[in-house]
Structure 1
Amino acid sequence: MDENKNWLVYLLQCANNALYCGITNDINKRLRQHHGDIVGGAKYTRANAPCTLVYQEQAKDRSTALKREHEIKSMSRDEKLTLLKFSHKL
């Protein structure tokens, strides 16, 4: 992944209702990977497909995106749902 592209932190809601958090600089490619259309997605999302993009936020660089991903992954499910509730709908 290229350091100079815009980075996103995103949340997917999987078929089993789980929330999956990740980062990318190419959301369309990453979603195709998660759905198993192309190589590279997480086993978890492929096993629990379909997954729907429910949240995304921009980060200034990869390092910032990784830090925010860690913050979100550290949240409880209820905290993640609150984040979704007060964010803009996709």
Structure 2
Amino acid sequence: MVNKYYMYVLLCGDNSLYGGFTNNLQQRLLKHQSGKGAKYTRSHLPVKMIYYESFENKGDALKAEYAFKHQPRNQKIKYLLNNGVNGKLFR
């Protein structure tokens, strides 16, 4: 069985964006939504997963997460729009 790794993006209650990494999207989203996820998302509830990308390699997923997190907001939005996320989410 091949493990999958994911870089994902959450839209937070204050309209901020949070990028993360996991090997189980459903479980990680439930952690974030229950307030038991990352420190950042605990104080920015509710959260909604708006994007994810899968990787065969853990290192590649971590690199994608790092790259996303170190972009200014306008570049993050541009990346998401270029990857099929509905632009109405950012209005």
Rounded Cα–Cα distance in structure 2 between residues aligned with 1:8 and 1:47: 23
TM-score under structure 2 normalisation? 0.84
Q: Give runs of aligned pairs for residues 33-44 of structure 1, distance below 5 A.
A: 33-36=31-34, 39=36, 41-44=37-40
> What percentage of aligned pairs have identical amino acids?
34
SS of 1:52 mapped into structure 2: strand
Number of equivalent positions? 85
Rounded Cα–Cα distance in structure 2 between residues aligned with 1:49 and 1:5: 29
Rounded Cα–Cα distance in structure 2 between residues aligned with 1:71 and 1:60: 18
Q: Does 1:51 align with 2:47?
A: yes
Unpaired runs of 5+ residues, structure 1, are none
Aligned residue for 2:24?
Answer: 26
Please, which moves more after superposition, 10-19 or 59-68?
Answer: 59-68
Rounded Cα–Cα distance in structure 2 between residues aligned with 1:58 and 1:73: 17
Residue 3 of structure 2 contacts residue 56 of structure 2 at CA under 8 Å; is this kept in 1? no
Letter in 2 for 1:52: K
Unpaired runs of 5+ residues, structure 2, are 87-91
TM-score under structure 1 normalisation? 0.85
CA offset digits 1:4-50 (Å, max 9, x no partner): 5201101101001110000111000000110126x5x1121122111
Rounded Cα–Cα distance in structure 2 between residues aligned with 1:86 and 1:53: 17
Q: What displacement does 1:89 show? A: 3.8
Letter in 2 for 1:26: N
Rounded Cα–Cα distance in structure 2 between residues aligned with 1:10 and 1:67: 12
Aligned residue for 2:72?
Answer: 76
Aligned residue for 1:63?
Answer: 59
